């Protein structure tokens, strides 16, 4: 999981096409999922671009959590639908993506947190999510690394878990390539040309592609892509850092993906070690330099909730970029000011777990087909005028 860059063994196109029906910008989970879902619906001449290597950006560096444990109904639907597709990857694509349904455990250390999660759990249950509130004692039975004396309650969703992002990207790529999608790595977009109220072409460092449709899946770089087209995408890059403990002769107890809402500390198993982290405050920017500045904050949090994890023996770690929006929820839709410009970005740390469903949603929006979810819920327009920002409790 430290290095999930997809190998260049999928026969990338030797030259850039001069025209395409759809140009997808960004080769992470959103881009490759959208490419496959478009191709699976019969769309031809799809070109997907990545400025580096496919799956080497933010999709190479998340924890890989997959869940439907949210408070916002739109997020719940995206999580449910994506979980179902991830479970079907072996049959659908012949790919093992390392899916482990270890569950998600959100820890509450205040009455307000417990009340919020109880309301969220009611919404989840009404939508068919297998989740429940648990007592501090049961939380410690589920995760023996926890100290129940500091907890008020917890929310547990046993069907959630994690998977390997790099394996997912590669599976989507292979399936999309079989359907004729063109993949161009090391291809940087430098301009998007408009002709009045429509898209005319996309120019890269390799030339110009005539097209009438663009899908921005550029993650942390999306604001710049939107600006080229005259579309406001309020996405800010923020560095996040993750540590990996040394592999142990005897594995840690098998535990859920565990998150403490009060401190934002999180951890879960990986092989015979643990992946650990905390949402340490960072200035916005594109730096992906790894350091241990977050570790004292993690240790302070662990000393309260999970004392056994204080001062962890770390073997290595890495940094990646969150693509944050002002309300920390996704941007999905078609630009009102530029028909033909679609976007799936700003997932603020939960893009991987929503990737399959979002690719399906964007494909149906492009084809003007009925969708399983009203995409206006996630429109970028909510930050302009009278629309209301979304509130999501189950995020850190």
Contact between 345 and 218 (Cβ < 8 Å): yes
Segment 67-73 shows an average pLDDT of: 97
**Tens of pLDDT, residues 19-68:** 999 999 999 999 999 999 999 999 999 999 999 888 887 666 656 999 99
Q: Is 156 helix (H, G, I), strand (E, B) or coil?
A: strand
Assess whether pLDDT exceeds 70 at residue 180: yes
Beta carbons within 8 Å of 227's beta carbon, 6+ residues apart: none
Rounded Cα distance between 38 and 179, Å, is 10
Q: Can you list the domains of the chain with their CATH numbers?
A: 1-100+161-235+325-396 (3.50.50.60), 104-158+237-321 (3.30.9.10)
DSSP-assigned states of every residue in 270-334: ETTEEEEEE-----BS------STTHHHHHHHHHHH-GGGSS--EEEEEEEEEEE-TTS--EEEE
Rounded Cα distance between 164 and 369, Å, is 31
Residue 7 is predicted with a pLDDT of 43
Q: How far is CA 379 from the centre of its chain?
A: 17
**Tens of pLDDT, residues 262-308:** 999 999 998 899 999 999 888 899 999 999 999 999 999 999 999 99
Q: What are phi and psi of 139, to 5 degrees?
A: -60, -40
Rounded Cα distance between 165 and 6, Å, is 10
Confidence of residue 13 (pLDDT cuts 50, 70, 90): low
First-to-last CA distance in the chain? 22
Question: How would you classify the pairing of strands 22-25 and 214-216?
Answer: parallel
Q: How far is CA 352 from the centre of its chain?
A: 3
């Amino acid at each position: 999981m430290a290095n999930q860059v997809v190998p260049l063994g999928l026969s990338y196109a030797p030259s850039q096409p001069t025209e395409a029906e759809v140009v997808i910008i960004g080769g992470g989970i959103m881009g490759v999922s959208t490419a496959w879902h478009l191709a699976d619906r019969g769309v031809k001449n799809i070109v997907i671009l990545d400025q580096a290597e496919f799956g080497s950006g933010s999709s190479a560096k998340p924890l890989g959590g997959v869940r439907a444990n949210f408070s916002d109904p739109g997020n719940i639907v995206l999580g449910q639908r994506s979980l179902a597709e991830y479970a079907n990857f072996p049959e659908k694509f012949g790919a093992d993506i390392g899916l482990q349904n270890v569950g998600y455990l959100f820890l509450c250390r205040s009455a307000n947190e417990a009340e919020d999660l109880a309301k969220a759990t009611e919404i989840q249950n009404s939508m068919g999510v297998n989740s429940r509130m648990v007592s501090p004692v049961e939380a410690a039975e589920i995760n023996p690394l926890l100290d129940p004396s500091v907890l008020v309650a917890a929310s547990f969703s046993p069907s959630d878990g994690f998977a390997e992002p790099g394996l997912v990207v590669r599976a989507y790529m292979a399936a999309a390539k079989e359907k004729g999608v063109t993949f161009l790595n090391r291809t940087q977009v430098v301009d998007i040309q408009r002709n009045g109220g429509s898209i005319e072409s996309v120019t890269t460092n390799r030339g110009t592609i005539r097209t009438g449709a663009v899908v921005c899946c550029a993650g942390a770089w999306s604001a710049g892509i939107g600006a080229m087209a005259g579309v406001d995408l309020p996405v800010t890059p923020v560095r996040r850092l993750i540590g990996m403990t040394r592999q142990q002769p005897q594995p840690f107890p098998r535990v859920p993906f565990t998150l403490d809402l009060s401190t934002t500390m999180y951890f879960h198993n990986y092989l015979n070690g643990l992946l650990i982290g905390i949402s340490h405050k960072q200035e916005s920017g594109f730096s992906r330099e790894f350091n241990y500045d977050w570790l004292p904050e993690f240790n302070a949090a662990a000393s309260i909730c999970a004392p056994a994890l204080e001062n962890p023996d770390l073997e290595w770690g890495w940094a990646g970029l969150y693509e944050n929006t002002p309300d920390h929820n996704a941007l999905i839709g078609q630009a009102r000011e530029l028909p033909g410009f679609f976007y799936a970005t700003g997932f603020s740390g939960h893009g991987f777990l929503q990737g399959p469903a979002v690719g399906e949603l964007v494909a149906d929006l492009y084809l003007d087909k009925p969708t399983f979810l009203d995409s206006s819920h996630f429109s970028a327009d909510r930050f302009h005028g009278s629309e209301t920002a979304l509130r999501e409790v189950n995020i850190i």
